[in-house]
């Protein structure tokens, strides 16, 4: 009977739709829903972000797709690294192949709280931000495999990816923070109504250059949102063993701060909107601490279970997974159905697989291009190689 109906449909030119899509299309979903979110802890602020927020169905589906894409992309990078297709350093938002990452709510929530014209700079755990700032999965995975189609033409790798208004991906711990203050200075100098999100981890939070950047930003009232992603461990050292004060949102002293539930995308979005509005008003910098977690080790060489228990990881995973939190909210509020979200999962997996196939088949950049793109708009010149007899041509 099913074959007969299919044949009739082909004869009549009627396009067939999967049964699940028909069910989704025929169901009446709510356009939006209001949710309570966790109150932020405040420092030198009389009021903070709202404790309720509205999520539209359109935004919810977009956030869900983006978060799943980041997760699946990192899982695929994990797999390619273990197959030795990705080489060198590789710091994932995820690390164990079957364990989902927990920091998707940070990168997707931050992007949801700013404008495309705003700026963002981060450390070396940057793949998710590279995606949310506008690059495709294909460009990111192809960069990880060191191929010509990568976003840095195969020369940057995991720690050095860039996009419009996204400045990396920086390999030196904490070094991006003064750069972020400089980007904010450029925004103010040029009279643009833009802000710079400057991210660093709890492991970098004790560095002197960060406090120097705080001081300059406060003196000059720069539109800089300093953001500490506190995932509780700097490499293999817990924050309690590394910092005399773990209230990172108070570290700016004279700079206002707020501590945010970094596992809840809606909390992150509202806090980012609040912080960006504060900076745009001309009041100067503000500091955000995103309380998050990583299920995996610091990098691919770290198993991540020698300095904490598997039970600790499992507890966070079962209670605070950011994708599950968003999924439950949407389904329970009739913003989406389980079937619809499963369809998105299937589509995301296919996108990742297609990108991975391209990333492994694309050719590597030729050796003669090793000196290319040192400068953006200079005439060609020669670059010395490993010794004075080896020369490479540099083309912008």
Measure the CA–CA gap between 347 and 100, rounded to whole angstroms.
18
pLDDT of residue 24: 61
Give me the phi and psi of 34, to 5 degrees please.
-105, 135
The first and second tokens of residue 14, run together, are: 């009627």
Residue identified by tokens 């010794």 is 387
- Sign of the CA dihedral with 369 first, then 375, 381, and 387 last: negative
Q: Are 5 and 212 in contact (CB under 8 A)?
A: no
- Collapsing DSSP to helix, strand or coil, 22 comes out as helix
pLDDT of residue 124: 86
pLDDT of residue 221: 98
- Cα dihedral 93→137→343→85 (10° resolution): -70
pLDDT tens, position by position, 23-56: 565 589 999 999 999 999 999 999 999 999 999 9
pLDDT of residue 120: 98
How does 68-102 read in b/e, with b if 16+ C-beta sit within 10 Å?
bbbbbbbbbbbebbeeebbeeebbbbbbbeebbbb
pLDDT of residue 91: 60
pLDDT of residue 232: 77
Question: DSSP of 102-138, one letter per residue?
Answer: S-HHHHHHHHHTS-TTSEEE--S--HHHHHHTT--HH
pLDDT of residue 13: 47
Question: 33-389 has which CATH code?
Answer: 3.40.50.970
pLDDT of residue 19: 52
pLDDT less than 70: residues of the chain = 1-26, 90-102, 234, 294-310, 312-318
pLDDT of residue 315: 65
Report pTM: 0.87
Domain boundaries, the chain: 33-389
Give me the phi and psi of 286, to 5 degrees please.
-145, 155
pLDDT tens, position by position, 289-301: 999 876 555 455 5
Measure the CA–CA gap between 143 and 139, rounded to whole angstroms.
6
């Amino acid at each position: 009977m099913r074959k007969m109906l299919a044949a009739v449909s082909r004869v009549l030119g009627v396009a067939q739709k999967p049964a699940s899509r028909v069910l989704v299309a025929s169901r009446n979903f709510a356009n939006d829903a209001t949710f309570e979110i966790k109150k932020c802890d405040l420092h030198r602020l009389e009021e903070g972000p709202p404790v309720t927020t509205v999520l539209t169905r359109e935004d919810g589906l977009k956030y869900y797709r983006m978060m799943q894409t980041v997760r699946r992309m990192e899982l695929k990078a994990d797999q390619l690294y273990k197959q030795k297709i990705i080489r060198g350093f590789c710091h994932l938002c995820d690390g164990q192949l079957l364990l989902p990452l927990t920091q998707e709510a940070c990168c997707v929530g931050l992007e949801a709280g700013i404008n495309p014209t705003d700026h963002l700079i981060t450390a070396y755990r940057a793949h998710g931000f590279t995606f949310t700032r506008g690059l495709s999965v294909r460009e990111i995975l192809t960069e990880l495999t060191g191929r010509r189609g990568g976003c840095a033409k195969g020369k940057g790798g995991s720690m050095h990816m860039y996009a419009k208004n996204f400045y990396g991906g920086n390999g030196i711990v904490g070094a991006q923070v003064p750069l972020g203050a400089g980007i904010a200075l450029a925004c103010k100098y040029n009279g643009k109504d833009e802000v710079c999100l400057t991210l660093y981890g709890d492991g970098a939070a004790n560095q002197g250059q960060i406090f120097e950047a705080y001081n300059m930003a406060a003196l000059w009232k720069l539109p800089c949102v300093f953001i500490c992603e506190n995932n509780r461990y700097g490499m293999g050292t817990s924050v309690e063993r590394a910092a005399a004060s773990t209230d990172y949102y108070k570290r700016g002293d004279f700079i206002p701060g707020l501590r945010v539930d970094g596992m809840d995308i809606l909390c992150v979005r509202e806090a980012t909107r609040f912080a960006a509005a504060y900076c745009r008003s001309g009041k100067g910098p503000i500091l955000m601490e995103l309380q998050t977690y990583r299920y995996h080790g610091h990098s691919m060489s770290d198993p991540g279970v020698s300095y904490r228990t598997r039970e600790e990881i499992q507890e966070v995973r079962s209670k605070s997974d950011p994708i599950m939190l968003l999924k439950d909210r949407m389904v329970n509020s009739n913003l989406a159905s389980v079937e619809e979200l499963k369809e998105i999962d299937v589509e995301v997996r296919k996108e990742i697989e297609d990108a991975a196939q391209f990333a492994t088949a694309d050719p590597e950049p030729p050796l003669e291009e090793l000196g290319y793109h040192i400068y953006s708009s200079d005439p060609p010149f020669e670059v010395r190689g490993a010794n004075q007899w080896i020369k490479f041509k540099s083309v912008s």
